[in-house]
Structures are given as structure tokens and as C-alpha cells.
Amino acid sequence: MALRALANGKTLGRLYHQQIRGLQTFSLPDLAYDYGALEPAISGEIMQLHHQKHHQTYITNYNKALEQLDDAIAKGDASTAVKLQSAIKFNGGGHVNHSIFWKNLAPTREGGGEPPHGSLGWAIDQHYGSMEKLIAKMNAEGAAVQGSGWVWLAVDKELKRLVVETTANQDPLVTKGASLVPLVGIDVWEHAYYLQYKNVRPDYLNNIWKVINWKYASEVYAKECP
Amino acid sequence: MVMASLTPITSHLTSHFLSTPEFCRLSQSLHRSPRQRRCTRKSVPEKISASIDLKPPPYALNALEPHMSKETLEYHWGKHHRGYVNNLNKQIEGTVLDEMSLESIISASYNKGDILPAFNSAAQVWNHEFFWESMKPGGGGKPSGELLELINRDFGSFEGLIHEFRLAATTQFGSGWAWLVYKEHKLDIPNARNPCPSEQDKKLVVVKSPNAVNPLAWEYHPLLTLDVWEHAYYLDFENRRTDYISSFLNKLVSWETVSSRLEAAKVLVAEREREMEEIDAIDDMDTIEPEDTYMYFGSDADE
């Protein structure tokens, strides 16, 4: 959809104008690994669809909503600006969440599944008792999400504490608390697992831990809790 | 269909075994006999609690091919819908909700928006039954008769309805449902009544709802639904929800069912109106006692 729009001269003109005004648009980030590299935990088919179709669609629609918002603000059209908020939350949230998700995953031969050793590992043991207990809690909460959403391990940067949270649809984690910083997010929308695990979300949750990139989570944690 | 698959097993069994709970569990676990949900338990007296059934679609699981695959029906009905039924029965067992009809369970657990745990399961059971019945092999085409008249009146044209329905189904973000409903004109205030009711008020409307919520919550009369949870279309269409919506509208929707639901809704609405008229008639007959007027004037009227 975005590619066809770009071919239109009027849109090109508007994009140029917006660059002058400083409206940044977004593009699909690359994965640090091949689509098939997370198998057998997550199939290459799912990874490709998830990245190239779902995430791309969020980006396309986010850019469109931002453009419309920019217009509405420039014209002082308050009701349109307000009406666009849900499209921004859905699609912008989808972009934010998935960008984190790709970094949360790594092939096993590149450390995926390897538990964290430094300060994050210690904090997990301190707060939850053990990695197994944390995983059990996140799996239970992830399985219990009604409909579509995410389950998160986060650090509250004010309280310096680990937190497990869930969000609905594509709500970003900050909607649950402004001081929450995501460390590990697991997408529990059906598109994240259906082709491989069908209705058995608990199996997906059990298996995804084999490819969770704790190195990235540790880096984020260390930055917030030095 | 069932007996053929069980013949090799039953040849080893006595007829006694056929009426035991063990056999019932065995036959249910084979998943081949959706119609054979209850076995008679003549030899073992057991307390049978009222429970919600897994109702099969009114057609075979492969009957909607190629527009909705057998594989989809096997998972969607056989796992998702069945899962909601099983969860619901577990949740209501031994509670006041047990013994109630499905619609009563839904309205009790909806609890005016302060949703109780059984709601998700109950509503999803209802929604899926309603969904299977909204489709038929060789469906699609156009509605006719009174349904078409109302569609033309309330949407301008059949194409107008289709446009709105598609929009609702496409823009229901996350999981949910798109609906065509028959809406009585009611004010949203609990004990108010429409001061100027007219035939034009009873309208067809397209609505969308998230997750398990359905228009019964708003006291609308549902006529048609489309499941837009990803599990409804992912095996056949992957992320292409728009193609799924087209397939449903062009090849699967049963307008006859929608028409008969509209008939039933109109009957219900007419009955309700008659009841309201009777209540009004009784109210008019009441005389106001002199003492009552003092209530409006506060304490200086007290004796």
C-alpha cells in the first residue's frame, strides 16, 4: 500500500513538504537474523509473515495517520486530531512493540535462550525466586490475555523493580505506567503463533523462551539500573 | 459415520460397556460424532447437571470449502468453540449460573459492563453458534423481501450495507466481531421511553465489538455476524482479512437466516411494545392520592 502511494506525484510532493516541516516517517527495521533462524521455536513462515506483512502494515498505517494528524494540526482541526488518536495508538503501538520484539529474539546459536547472568539475572532471582518462576508467571499471564495483546517483563525505572505486565491489542507498555521500560515482550496475538501452534497458545509460550535474547534485555536493564 | 469408525472396537465389547461413562468418554474423545454429545447412562445412575452443549454447525465441516476450509472448521469449531464450551461449563458448575440458559448467563455475567469471569466463555459460545448459523454452503448473493426493503431504507442500498459491514469488519482492531443488528429506538436511560416512537425508528445498524462482547449487551437484536479474530481466517487467508471478508460476503453468508432472524426480532419488539402499552394503561388508571402531593413540597407539609 505504501509503495503504491509513493508512486503518486502528489504524495511525493507532500512528503517533501513534510520533510521540510520535519515530519518523520517510519520504515520497517531489518531483523538481525534470517526468518528461519528461530526454528523450531518459531517457524520461518510465521517470522516472514509477521515481519513483512503485519509489522509493515502497522508502519504503513502509522505513517498515514501521522500525515493526517500533521494536516489536522496545521489546520487547527481539533476533532480530526482527536479522532486520529486511536489509529495512532493501534498502528504506532504496533510499530513500537514489534520493533522491540525483533530485538527480544535471537537464534539459539547466537545466545537465544541463554539466561541472563549479570545484574538482571540477579534481580530476577531476587524478585521472583528463580528464572523458572518468572517464566511460569509470564506464561500464565500471557495465556490469560483475552483476545489480542502482549505480555511483558519490564523494569520500573523509578522504583528500580522488575514487573510483569500485560497490555491489550497494540497498547505500548507505557500505557500501563509511564516509568515502565520493556525488557522482554512476547506477542500473544494469534498471528504470532497460529500457523504453527494453532489454538495452543501455552505451547507457543513454553517454546519461545528458547529464543529469547536475554543479552538485549540485560543491556536495557543495566542502563536503567546501573 | 460414527458407527463405521467404532465397529472394530465395539466388536470386542459387550453391550453393557456401551452404556457406561467410560464408553461415553471414549466416543466423545474420537471427535467424530458432534451430534452424539449425550450418552444414555442406564446402568450407572449419575447426577446429570444442566450444562451448555457444543452445538455443531448446520453443515459438515468440509461443506464450506473452498471458501472456508475443513481444516479451519476443525480447529475453529473443534478446538476454539469446544474450548469455550468446556471452560464455561467448568466456570458455572455449582454456581447460580448453572441451570440458566446461555443468554441469561451472558446477561448476568455481562453485569452491565462490570464483566464477571464467565462472560468471555459464555459470550464466545453464543457468538460462535450464531456465526456458524450465519453461513451456509452456496451462500452469498443478495437478500430479498422485507430484509432488502429495510436494507434499502437504512443503508440506501445493498451496496451501502456491504460497504459499512466491510468497514466495520476491517477496522475492528485486534480480536472481535462485525454485526448487522436490528435496533429498536430506545433511549439509553434506564426508565425512559421514546417519546415519539415511529416505524422508522426500528433500524438496521452495523456495529463492531471487541473480543467476546456482542450486541446482546446493548439489547440489540443480532441478525448476522462475522468473526474477525485472527483464528477465524489465518489458516485460509493469513493476514489478508479483507480477502476473508469478501469470501464471507460473496460465498458464505446465508441471507435466508438473516431474514428469519429479522422476523423473530420484529415479533419480539412488537410483544415488548404491547407489554409497554399495557403498563402505560395501568399507570393511567392510577389516581394520585392527596397525601402524595406533599412529597413534592418537603418538610413544611409534614404533620
Q: Which string of DSSP letters, residue by residue, matches B194-246?
A: -SS--GGGSEEEEEEEETT--GGGGT-EEEEEEE-SGGGTHHHHTT-HHHHHH
Measure CB to CB from residue B79 to each of A90, A189, A198 and give the nearest one. A198
What is the share, in percent, of chain A residues with pLDDT greater than 70? Answer: 90
* Residue predicted with more confidence, B151 or B296: B151
CB proximity A168 to B under 8 Å: yes
Determine the distance in angstroms separating the CA of B178 from the nearest CA of chain A, rounded to an integer. 15
CB proximity A194 to B under 8 Å: yes
Between CA A14 and CA A20 the distance in angstroms is 10
pLDDT at position A1, please? Answer: 47
Between CA B240 and CA B233 the distance in angstroms is 8
The pTM of the full predicted model, rounded to 2 decimals, is: 0.82
* Residues A21-53 pLDDT 10s: 578 899 999 999 999 999 999 999 999 999 999
pLDDT at position A168, please? Answer: 97
Per-residue pLDDT at B166 exceeds 90: yes
Mutate one of A43, A62, A64, A199 to test the B interface: name it (highest B CB count within 10 A). Answer: A199
CB proximity B80 to A under 8 Å: yes
pLDDT at position B197, please? Answer: 66
For the ranges A5-19, B70-84, B175-189, B243-257, the lowest mean pLDDT is seen at: A5-19
Per-residue pLDDT at B264 exceeds 60: yes
Mutate one of B74, B76, B230 to test the A interface: name it (highest A CB count within 10 A). Answer: B230
Stretch (H or E) spanning A154: strand A149-156
Stretch (H or E) spanning B88: helix B82-92
Give the largest Cα separation in chain B, rounded: 90
Average pLDDT over residues B205-217: 95
Write out chain B residues lying below 8 Å of A189, CB-based.
Answer: 174, 230
In this structure, what are the phi and psi dihedrals at residue A150, rounded to the nearest 5 degrees?
-135, 155
pLDDT at position A162, please? Answer: 97
Assign B201 a pLDDT band (cuts: 50, 70, 90).
confident
Is the dihedral angle over the CA atoms B231, B237, B243, B248 positive or is it negative?
negative
* Alpha carbon B142 to chain centroid, angstroms: 23
Q: Cβ(A160)–Cβ(A172) under 8 Å?
A: no
pLDDT at position B33, please? Answer: 42
Per-residue pLDDT at B30 exceeds 60: no
Write out chain A residues lying below 8 Å of B231, CB-based.
Answer: 190, 194, 199
Q: Which A positions 110-149 lie with beta carbon below 8 A of chain B? A: 146-149
Write out chain B residues lying below 8 Å of A54, CB-based.
Answer: 239
Measure CB to CB from residue A189 to each of B80, B230, B235 and give the nearest one. B230
CB contact under 8 A, A49 and B238: yes
ipTM of the complex: 0.89
Write out chain A residues lying below 8 Å of B230, CB-based.
Answer: 148, 189-191, 194
Amino acid at B213: V
Per-residue pLDDT at A165 exceeds 60: yes
What is the share, in percent, of chain B residues with pLDDT greater than 70? Answer: 72
CB proximity B260 to A under 8 Å: no
Sheet holding A149-156, edge to edge: A161-168, A149-156, A180-187
For the ranges A21-30, A84-93, A137-146, B162-171, the lowest mean pLDDT is seen at: A21-30
Assign B288 a pLDDT band (cuts: 50, 70, 90).
low
Residue with cell 462475522: B226
pLDDT at position B285, please? Answer: 72
Determine the distance in angstroms separating the CA of B235 from the nearest CA of chain A, rounded to an integer. 7
Report the residue of chain A nearest B78, measured CA to CA: A199
Assign B274 a pLDDT band (cuts: 50, 70, 90).
confident
pLDDT at position B256, please? Answer: 98
Average pLDDT over residues A110-119: 95
Q: Which A positions 28-67 lie with beta carbon below 8 A of chain B? A: 49, 53-54, 57
